[in-house]
Structure 1
Amino acid sequence: MVATLIRLKLALAANSFRRSAWQVVGTLFMLLYGLGMTSLLVTALVVSGSPVAGLALETRHTVSVLLGAAVLLLWLLIPLFLTGRDSLMDPRHFVTTAVPRRSLVTGLVLCGLLSLGALLTVVWLLGHVLYWRAEPAAMITAAASAPILLVTFSLVSQAVTTTASAWLDGRRFRDLMAVTGLGLAILIWPASTLLQDAFGSLAEALPTVTRVISYTPLGAGTALPGDVAAGDWGGFLIHLLILAGTAGAAVLVIRAGLVKITERPGSATVRRGAAQQGRLGLFALLPDRPWAAVAARALTYWLKDPRYGGSLVVVPGLVILVTVMHLQTGQTGFLYALGPFLAFTLGFAISADVAYDHTAFSLHVTSGVRGIDDRFGRAFALLLFALPATLVAAVIPALIAGAAMQVLLTTGLSLGALFTAVGVSLVVSARFTYPVPRPGESPFKQPQGAMGRVMAVQLLSMLAIVVLMIPELAGWIVWLVVDIAWIGVLTGILAVLKGAALLIAGLVLGARIYDRSQPELFQQVRAHA
């Protein structure tokens, strides 16, 4: 039965490649990129692990534990926050197959090893073993524990995804966890900076941090070679028990989750809000016009759909990150860049709004919404909150860091970036669609077969925005070099006027494309549904 599950995983993966050429392109790109980054890491480990390098044992131990903790975190976070769960081998698919529980647990864990992440982990483990070659006993320990670590990573990853599928499968929980994970990732730099300030330097803090992590499931397995090299047999035994306990606990969690999914499935809870007569929400606040109806629906998405709102989580995290970097380095460039970067991010956020409509886009088709009303309504909804947010992000940091000229130039560049990005997005979303997370799915889930097309469309769209902003960027660079006031004023005004012109051009061109290809656009959305 285990062999059957493995063959099933391979067959499903092969079918996903046959279904979409973009899936092959995206997977190859991820494979090459992952192998490149992992190879650089392994090379660094091999070189630094040479006896000639003469690294202190404490340094070797610190690097080993921290890398192991980072790898385990990746095994936990990537499936949970980016894809929600393994869509090919979801435990819920086996509810009616009566697969023996022990075989199902073993099969799911082994199927987790048939992935790109597992391949990159094997490459890293090879470097981990060679890293300890200056100490033969430690190297043997690293080699003996490498397969155990690999299986433990798969066990823990499967335990987390099974738990989410069995008990925490509510939409709100998945969305909250995904958004929280992204927010925590943004705060890594501020947290490390505060830690550095507390200990005087990061180098002083690392041994203490490593010691704590080594007695957790994150770093216990990769702490074993260091224990052997130092002759710390008490620590070795404790770390070995923690590693074994982690694997055992993961098996128990997987088993309990499968019992809940396959033997005791709960009835779906459907929440129905009582609709009150006359309560139209945002639709009652905007004029009785087609574009206003589109804007009200788009604003409702921004407020209630985590696929839209999830992109806004970067805003407070970005502000904190920029503030900490400014306080740490004293450089004002970070503050000046906040407004334009935030404007670029918000403007680009609607580049896939038609695809996010999913089958609800049929409302636009069947009701005969004109292209100009569709494009203007979506742009109006975004600018209603993006415009004030951009002004605040541009003006306040510039006032803190500079004089009036810096405020004028930064504000002009930020508004120009916002208008330019919105104009390009209005054209792109009317011309190109690609698979996106469906309503109710994790906002960071990547549908099967979408990676290559998503990367191509988004990369070209971002490149187009940057190219269109070359004149004002050139003017900004010239002003920095010569420091002539009228150049700064002219650059700021040019950025706003050109951005407004590009916004209008994007609105008109996007409307024409929408009117000309509305049926084909709906077919594309349906094909990706």
Structure 2
Amino acid sequence: MIAVLLRLKLRLLGNGMTRSTWQLVGTIFALLYGLGVVGMIAVGLAVAGGQEIAVDSRATVSVLLGAGATLIWVLVPLFLTGGDSVMDPRQLIPYGIGRRQLVLALVLCGLVSISTVLTLLWQAGHLLYWRADPAAMLAALVMAPVTLGMLSLLSQAATTAASAWFSGRRARDLFAVLGVGLAVMIWPITTAVQNSFDTLAEALPAITAVLAATPLGAAAAVPADVAGGDWAAVGLRLVIVVATMAVALLVIRAGLLRITERPRPPAASRSAGRRGLGVLGLVPDRPWAAVAARALIYWMRDPRYGGSLIVLPGLVAVAVMLHLQTQADWTLYGLGLLVAFMLGFGISADVSYDHSAFSLHVTAGVRGVDDRLGRAVALLTFAVPATLVAAILPAALVGDATAVVLTTAVSLGLLLASTGISSLVSARFTYPVPRPGDSPFKQPPGAAGRTMMVQLGSMLVMAATMLPELVLWIVWTLAALDWLVPVLVAVTLLKGIGLLVLGIRLGARVYDRHQPELFQQVSD
């Protein structure tokens, strides 16, 4: 059965690449990029292996790289791809596979990935890094497959736990809040660690010692302990590794038990007790207003939309802390631009997020102009106030009235322009996104290449359209040329309004021409 599931994983991956050109392009791009980065690290390790370097210095490099590899194995599948959607345990429930076989199969299937190729490349460099000491090199060779198995177990444990116990809406919102808190605390934590030591070189040994005593760096620290003759430390590292693997196995087993044998019963519907139309009852009796109301409901209740909003307070807090540390005014001047850009980009996939609900627009005969206008109005309802706050308050703290006016105008112009561009992009280009009810971090198969190309292209177009204003705004911040202020305010706002209108009109035209194709694409 395990061999069958492994062949199934390979067959599904192959079919996904041959079915979608974008999937193939994205996979090749990710592989080449990873090989370039990890290849340089491996070459650097191999070269350093022939040099005379103290054991402590070698241990620092080994442990830091090992901890980084562990974090990548755990966090990338969890937050970027939402786990292995190809081998979802829920899809295997009807086949009655034994729990032990399923656990082993999932762990082995997790090794069929680009991450395994890159990890093996890093381990080859790590092996050569310790070639000056035969005993340490032998320890690195023995620990290589053990480390790879531990990484696969940790990755599977993280994704299984997220699917079994944290797949509900409240859990996702909690993770989002925790993510914002982590983003906010990264800067002060880093600053506090840095201030605790005179130089970074003094901080690294202490950081290495802590990481080596955790599952993040214990396996990578074994060769250094062997080279130093500290056999008690070697034993401790092995205990940590074995205990980590055992706990990961228990988590996977318990998660599969919850998923396959004790699934959570569906929540009772509470819609019957609610009365009234909510937001729909507050808008005018117009098609575009109904679309705007539905989009606002999505923004308030759908975590796939709300995820982009939750990130903004964390970015604002980080920018404020950065300003307090560096006293650089640009960190505050740029807040309005950052918020405007991210909010305007937020509706670039709104049609894709509709999924089967887009049939409401098709069957009701919603015109393109009503669809595009309604979605833009829904975004601007809260995006304009948010952009004003992000532009006015920080600029007022470090600048005068002129700085506030100019920064606000450029931010609003960027918001309007990016909203118009997104209105056209979302009607013309669709790509696979998490389905309604899925984790906002879950990436469907075949999404990598097309998602990357569409999003990157949209961002580049948005940046290109605002490039003249941004350049002049930067010139003003550096040279304080007052004659630029009225010119920039007028040009930025007028161009933003023009791009908004143009984007809605062109998006409406594309929408009307390709409505059936759009519905077929988002419903697949």
User: Which of the five TM-score ranges fits, normalised by the shorter chain?
Assistant: over 0.9
Kindly report which structure 2 residues correspond to 1:74-473, keeping only aligned pairs within 5 A, or say none. Answer: 74-174=72-172, 176-177=174-175, 180-181=178-179, 184=182, 187-262=185-260, 264-266=261-263, 268-276=265-273, 278-473=275-470
- What is the CA RMSD across the aligned residues, in angstroms? 2.1
Residue equivalent to 2:505: 508
Identity %, equivalent residues: 57
Deviation, 1:224, is 0.8
Specify the code of the residue in structure 1 equivalent to 2:28.
Answer: L
1:439 offset after TM fit, Å?
A: 0.1
Alpha-carbon deviation of 1:271?
A: 2.8
Inter-partner Cα distance in structure 2 for 1:367 and 1:84: 34
Once residues 108 and 175 of structure 1 are traced to their aligned partners in structure 2, the CA distance between those partners, rounded to angstroms, is 27
Contact 2:62–2:126 (8 Å) recurs in 1: yes
Q: For residues 137 and 151 of structure 2, what CA distance do their matches in structure 1 show?
A: 20
Shift of 1:70: 1.7
Query: Quick one: structure 1 residues 405 and 51, their matched pair in 2 at CA, closer, same or farther if it must change by over 3 Å?
Result: same
Would you say the 8 A contact 1:155–1:251 is kept in 2? yes
Distance 1:276 1:244, change over 3 A: closer
Q: Which piece of structure 1 moves more, 123-132 or 100-109?
A: 100-109
Q: Is the 8 A contact 1:475 1:488 kept in 2?
A: no
Question: 151-160 or 172-181, which moves further after superposition?
Answer: 172-181
How far residue 343 of structure 1 moved from its aligned partner, in angstroms, is: 0.7
Local SS of the residue matching 2:449: helix
Q: Deviations over 1:8-58 (max 9, x none)?
A: 111111111121111101111111111111112223333344324x3x332
The question of whether the paired residues in 1 share the 8 Å contact of 2:176 and 2:310 is answered with: no
Distance 2:15 2:176 in 1: 28
- 2: CA distance between counterparts of 1:267 and 1:333? 49
* Structure 1 residues 445-490: Cα deviation after superposition (integer angstroms, max 9, x where no partner): 2111122211222222112112211221232244356532111331
| Greater Cα offset, 401-410 or 422-431 | 401-410
State how far apart, in whole Å, the 2-side matches of 1:67 and 1:185 are: 22
Q: Is the partner of 2:22 in helix, strand or coil?
A: helix
Give me the whole-angstrom Cα distance separating, in 2, the residues matched to 1:150 and 1:278.
55
Measured after TM superposition, the shift of residue 303 of structure 1 is 0.7
Q: d(CA) in 1 for partners of 2:267 and 2:144?
A: 46
Alignment deviations for residues 419-449 of structure 1 (CA, whole Å, 9 cap, x no partner): 1100101111122211111001111221111
Q: Give 5+ residue unaligned stretches, structure 1.
A: none
Equivalence for 2:494? 497
For residues 74-127 of structure 1, give each alpha carbon's deviation from its aligned partner in whole angstroms, at most 9, with x where no partner exists. 111122222222111122222232333333222221111110111111111112
**TM-aligned CA distance change 1:260 to 1:373, over 3 Å:** closer
SS in 1 for 2:23: helix
Q: 1:344 is aligned with what amino acid? A: F
1:170 & 1:480 partners in 2: Cα distance?
A: 46
State the SS of the aligned residue for 1:95.
helix
The equivalent residue for 1:6 is: 6
Change (3 A) 1:478 1:332: closer
Unaligned runs of 5+ in 2: none
Post-superposition CA distance 1:359-395 (Å, at most 9, x none) = 1111112222222221121111111111111111112
Query: How far did 1:310 drift?
Result: 0.5
Letter in 1 for 2:186: I
TM-score by length of 1: 0.93
CA distance in 2, matches of 1:476, 1:212: 46
CA contact (8 A) 2:197 2:203 kept: yes
Structure 2 counterpart of 1:313, one-letter code: I
Native 8 Å contact 1:69 1:218 kept in 2: yes
- Asked if 2 retains the 8 angstrom alpha-carbon contact of 1:178 and 1:443, the reply is no
Q: Find the aligned partners of 1:467 and 1:524 in 2 and give their Cα distance.
A: 29
Instruction: Return the offset for 1:175.
Output: 5.3
Opposite residue 99 of structure 2, the aligned amino acid is R
Describe the shift of the 1:86–1:258 C-alpha distance in structure 2 as closer, same or farther (beyond 3 A): same
Q: Contact 2:180 / 2:314 at 8 angstroms: preserved in 1?
A: no
The amino acid that maps onto 1:354 is V
In 1, the alpha carbon distance for the partners of 2:288 and 2:449 equals: 33
1-structure distance, mates of 2:179, 2:119: 22
* Distance of aligned partners of 1:78 and 1:403 in 2 relative to their CA distance in 1, 3 Å threshold: same
1:331: how far off?
A: 1.8
**Aligned-pair distance for 1:400?**
2.0
Counterparts in 2 of 1:306 and 1:411: CA distance versus 1, 3 Å: same
Contact kept, 8 Å, 1:179 with 1:310, in 2: the verdict is no
The more displaced of 291-300 and 486-495 is 486-495
The amino acid across from 1:505 in the alignment is L
* Contact persistence 2:387–2:411 (CA under 8 A): yes
Aligned to 2:472: 475
Measure, in 2, the Cα distance between the counterparts of 1:183 and 1:82. Answer: 19
- 2-structure distance, mates of 1:500, 1:21: 37
Structure 1 window deviating more from structure 2 (446-455 vs 415-424): it is 446-455
SS at match of 1:394: helix
Which piece of structure 1 moves more, 140-149 or 128-137? 128-137
Whole-Å Cα distance in 2 between the matches of residues 105 and 504 of structure 1?
Answer: 55
- Name the aligned partner's letter for residue 215 of structure 1: A
2:483 corresponds to: 486
SS of alignment partner, residue 96 of structure 1:
helix
CA distance in structure 2 between the aligned counterparts of 1:144 and 1:295, rounded to whole angstroms? 60
Distance 1:48 1:411, change over 3 A: farther
Q: Label 1:260 to 1:374 Cα distance change in 2 as closer, same or farther (>3 A).
A: closer
Deviation at 1:172, TM superposition (A): 3.4
Contact 1:187 1:317 in 2 (8 A): no
More deviation, 278-287/5-14: 278-287
Deviation string, structure 1 residues 280-321 (Cα, Å, up to 9, x no partner):
211222222222211111111111000000011220111122
| TM superposition score normalised by structure 2 | 0.94
**Amino acid across the alignment from 1:328:** Q
State whether residues 227 and 233 of structure 1, in contact with CA within 8 Å, keep that contact through their aligned partners in structure 2. yes
User: 1: CA distance between counterparts of 2:256 and 2:20?
Assistant: 32
* Segment drifting more, 93-102 vs 234-243: 93-102
Using a 3 Å threshold, how does the CA distance of structure 1 residues 322 and 434 change in structure 2: closer, same or farther? same
Instruction: Give the deviation of 1:333 after TM superposition.
Output: 1.8
| Alpha-carbon separation, structure 2, partners of 1:505 and 1:253 | 53
- Which letter maps to 1:510? G
Deviation at 1:349, TM superposition (A): 0.6
Q: Contact between 1:183 and 1:314, CA under 8 Å: does it hold in 2?
A: no
Shift of 1:189: 4.0
